[in-house]
Amino acid sequence: MIYAPILLPFLAAIVLGLTGTPRQGVIANAALSGLVFLLTLAVFTAPGSGLIHADALGLLFGTLTGFIAFTTALANINYVRGAEPRLTPQLWRLYHALCQIILGATLLGLYADNIGLLWAAVEIATIAATLAVSLPRTPSALEAAWKYFILGGVGIALALFGTMLVYLAAQPALGPGLNAMSFTALSTHAPWMDGSLLTLAFVFILFGYGTKAALVPLHGWLPDAYAEGPAPLTTALSGPMLNLALIAILRFRHLLQANHASGGAAMAPGPFLLVLGLASLFLVGFSLSRRRDARRFFGFSSIEHSGIAIFAFGIGGPAAIFGGLLHMLLQTLIKSGLFIALIRAAALRGSTAPGNYSFAHLRGLIHSNKYTAWALGGAIFALTGLPPSGLFASEFIIISQTVQRNPWVSAPLALGLLLCAVAILRNLGPLIFGHAPPHTKPVKAAPEMHLVTLHLALAVILAFAMPAPVLNLLSSVAGALQ
């Protein structure tokens, strides 16, 4: 059962990559993504065992990934219709294949119980994403892809080195063999691992997966990749990829913490994570003010949210981890909804090609279409964590935990959040309510706006009326990974 949602996208990628017109491809892509989503739900009944088996964290984020992939694929239908002439049919085939590969790789990473497999999944996802960014074949897209490739490649190399060091550190406890690479075995035997090697490993893991999670100063690739690639693929679908990297860091952090807490030689993981988290918050807070391109802008905002999650993991303790995971869940929902709306907004103004996402081009959206404007505005607003956005709950938990566990860092955290939120909201007014460019006519809303509303509503429900099963699941994860 567990293999189905992982294998299906890879198999589908082969088919989609070889045959089909763009229109057939996009329908097939949507149908397949929907199927994968259902399969991720089905995995709850049979989480599997051995090399690939999903724990509660994997299940939860796997479902989220499936859901996002599904909604993105649905929104994709309209996008491809509009953007069809921009790419050759072969490239569209590649595009759809890459959609499926990224989905499959992300699910593989989430469900894998093996640190090597996790690394391989991240690598596949990175290569696929690099290819995806280069798809438009424009100089700036190639440049962005090149940047992504170099920085991502270095990150992957560092992550591999870290992975090997973890294996080495596990030798005293688990001995050689596959067992020393299993998360399940590692976390139960963490106290007996070689602490100082584990710390060294963690630094490499942090830099490796941190590059993938786009933590400052490892973030260099992300804004350009967001801005230059084909919109749905590199933006909406990338949220789950960031989550994958963050979850990887969280899992390794738990090893270090467990070793440290039980008196091992490992250092506490907190300071490393806090430094990177705060650096992300502040750099983004300052960088956002000068952004003119909306996709780059929200790329930076993704960096911010990775930073917040990492910060929460750095604070540690079940509640902060809970807050961090909740933040990731909600942020992914909101951000992918936002990008769906943003692509629609660009379509309202003529074209969804990269370069049509500048704020000056999109401004006064309410004069083009009210529903789109409100949905986009709502999503942007939700990013800031002001109520009624769901992120308020997660940020509230994180700040409160920070104050109780490490009061002094709550000041820079609060300041960083303030900076980012203000920088985001500064753009919201002109974007939604400003004067539209001349000759703007009202346009009808597209059906995918309902998807955005669904995303936002889910984010609110998940934060403020969390269903008991989800709460239990998240709580148990947070408790286990504290």
Partner 1 sequence: MTYSLAHLMGGILLLSTFLLLSQRRLAAMITLYQLQALTLAAAAFWQGYAQSEINLYLTGIITLALKGLLLPLALREIVHRFNLRRAVETAMPMALAMLLGVGLIGIAVLVVLPSTMSAVSLTREDLAIALSVVLLGLLVMTTRRNALAQIIGFLSTENGLVLAAIGMPGMPFVAEFSVALLVLLAFLVTGIFLLRIREHFDTLDVTGIEDIERRGR
Partner 2 sequence: MRRWLPDDSGPGCYPYPVTNDLALMVGLPGQGVHLHLDALSLLFLCILAPQILASAVAGMRASVTFWVFCAGMVLALAAGDAFTLIFGFELMSAASWLLVLRGDQKPATFYIAIAIFSAACLIPAVFLPASSPVSCSIAFILIALGTGAKAGLAPLHSWLPKAHPAPPAGVSAIMSGGMVKIALYVLIRYSFIILTGAAQPWWGVVLIIAGVASVVIGALRAVLETEMKTMLACSTIEHVGLITVGLGIALRAKAMGDPALTAVALQAALLCAVAHGLFKPLLFLGAGEVKHSTGTTSLNWLGGLMRGQPRLGGLMLLGAAGMAAIPFGPGFAPEFLLLHAVIGAAATGGILARIGFTFVLAALGLGAALALGAAVRLIGIGFLGRPRSLHAASAEDARPGPLFGMGLLAVLMLPVALLPGQVLAALVPVVSQLAPQADMHPLAYTPLPLLLLAFLIATATGFVLHRFGVRGTREVAPWNGGFGRAPAWLPFGDPTTQPSATGFAQPISRAIAKAVLGKNGTDPADAWLIAPIQRLHLRGVRLAERIRRATIRQRLGVVFAALVLFLAALGLAEGG
Q: Residue 34 or residue 318: which is nearer to partner 2 going by CB?
A: 318
Name every residue whose Cβ is closer than 8 Å to that of residue 373 and which is 6 or more positions away in sequence: 345, 365, 366, 432
Residue tagged 């890879």 (tokens): 10
Q: Per CB under 8 A, does 298 bind partner 2? A: no
Q: Where are the alpha helices (DSSP H) in 214-269?
A: 222-228, 231, 238-261
Contact residue for partner 1 among 87, 181, 281, 452 (CB under 8 A): 181
Out of partner 2, partner 1, none, what residue 207 binds, judged by CB under 5 to 8 A for its kind, is partner 2
241/418 Cα distance (integer angstroms): 26
Q: How far is the CB of 117 from partner 1 (least distance, A)?
A: 7
Q: Per CB under 8 A, does 433 bind partner 2? A: yes
Q: Per CB under 8 A, does 140 bind partner 1? A: yes
H and E: helices and strands count for the chain: 20, 0
Residue tagged 């509660």 (tokens): 56
Q: Which amino acid is at 94?
A: L
Q: How far apart are the first and last CA of the chain?
A: 29
Q: Per CB under 8 A, does 211 bind partner 2? A: yes
| 3 state DSSP class of 16 | helix
347/441 Cα distance (integer angstroms): 13
Q: Residue 265 or residue 454: which is nearer to partner 2 going by CB?
A: 265
Contact residue for partner 1 among 8, 75, 125, 160 (CB under 8 A): 160
Q: Per CB under 8 A, does 114 bind partner 1? A: yes
Q: Residue 51 or residue 268: which is nearer to partner 2 going by CB?
A: 268
Contact residue for partner 2 among 380, 417, 449, 459 (CB under 8 A): 417
Contact residue for partner 2 among 21, 370, 426, 442 (CB under 8 A): 426
Q: Per CB under 8 A, does 150 bind partner 1? A: yes
In the Cβ-directed half-sphere of 451, how many Cα atoms lie within 13 Å?
Answer: 27
Out of partner 1, partner 2, none, what residue 127 binds, judged by CB under 5 to 8 A for its kind, is partner 1
* DSSP designation for 112: B
Q: Which amino acid is at 289?
A: S
* DSSP designation for 220: T
Q: Per CB under 8 A, does 147 bind partner 2? A: yes
Q: Per CB under 8 A, does 184 bind partner 2? A: no
Please state the φ and ψ torsions of residue 293, each to the nearest 5 degrees.
-100, 125
CA distances from 55 to 45, 65, 390, 473 (A): 12, 15, 25, 10
Q: How far is the CB of 199 from partner 2 (least distance, A)?
A: 6
Q: Residue 193 or residue 326: which is nearer to partner 1 going by CB?
A: 193
In the Cβ-directed half-sphere of 21, how many Cα atoms lie within 13 Å?
Answer: 5
Q: Are 313 and 321 in contact (CB under 8 A)?
A: yes
Residue ranges in 304-333 that form contacts with partner 2 under rule CB under 8 A:
317-319, 322, 326
Q: Per CB under 8 A, does 143 bind partner 1? A: yes
Q: How far is the CB of 270 from partner 2 (least distance, A)?
A: 13
Q: Per CB under 8 A, does 430 bind partner 1? A: no
Query: In this structure, what token pair is assigned to residue 398?
Result: 């994180």
Out of partner 2, partner 1, none, what residue 121 binds, judged by CB under 5 to 8 A for its kind, is none
Interface residues toward partner 1, by CB under 8 A: 114, 116-117, 119-120, 123, 127, 130-131, 134, 139-140, 142-143, 145-147, 149-150, 153-154, 156-158, 160-161, 163-165, 167-169, 171-172, 175-178, 181, 194, 196-197, 200, 265, 292-293, 296
